[in-house]
A = this chain, B = another copy of it.
């Protein structure tokens, strides 16, 4: 399966959803990966790669290393191996690897090519479209970075075989997000099919990627519609923050966040209780958490303002309109939000 992504400048790239084929590059190639993925799958990848000169840089695993100093270590590797402007980076790992490799590629000699080979379900459906790259710093997540598009993305479902079950669920949460906000038919399909089959997961990845590509094509620099991809994130970020980023995976927090956003949608009359229930049901099928015990609703509410999307002191909520459509609004009053949050006190 191939999804072609056309960019605003009329260039385009392919997302190939299939087993990796042999690839040959008449230029220097650096693979950026982490010890976990390297241990499981580096041989499998290297076996497919033929390059003028190939080297691998392994960076530590996890969000806390997603910083400028790791970027500098990737760049140093590239300089030591005398990469030039025609050289290529390959991101081989999850979202952290993809974001950092893309950012390093965007600033090495003012920009060189890179390819994404995402190995987690989340990065396969989410990070392969949109061109967002970046790192964290003490002020927050992804606050420094660039828009830099890959020249190709290869999604091989084989890598999912070694993915922990919880991480699989976190990826499914993003798939559900795409369906609820933009594609009713896709949501119906998700209710009826099991993503644990390889054929079905390929279809779901393809549909998610196509949906996201459509959204991004409407709004590359996130001035409007693209914000809808943050459905579940406004609440999710607070949950991640309150639990010190060590209780829930990002996708899991987004799962809970979607349930909260749905309650808000029900409260303001945009979604029926039945529709909210159906979304919850699909999430629970993959053991994605849908419950969270809020300690203090006022405190939870204050946390919204720490999000970078709220730097102007307005909270933007993305609320579904039924299933398959959504609304972006900063007009919901604090009282209504507090009332919804109170539903999560027990």
Contacts and interface: CB of A to CB of B under 8 A. Distances in A.
A311 interface: yes
Contacts of A56: none
B84 A312 contact: yes
Given A68-B68, A84-B311, A84-B312, A111 B147 contact: yes
How many copies of the chain does the oligomer comprise?
A: 2
A79 B143 contact: yes
Nearest to A308: B109
Contacts of A106: 146
A199 interface: no
A225 interface: no
A338 interface: no
A324 interface: no
A107 interface: yes
A103 B151 CA distance: 23
A106 B84 CA distance: 21
A144 interface: yes
A177 interface: no
Interface in A128-144: 132-134, 137, 139, 142-144
A75 interface: yes
Interface in A76-124: 79, 82, 84, 106-111
A134 B110 contact: yes
Interface of A: 8-9, 68, 72, 75, 79, 82, 84, 106-111, 132-134, 137, 139, 142-147, 221, 308, 311-312
Given A108-B143, A109-B143, 9 more contacts: A9-B9, A68-B68, A68-B72, A75-B137, A79-B137, A79-B143, A84-B308, A110-B133, A110-B134
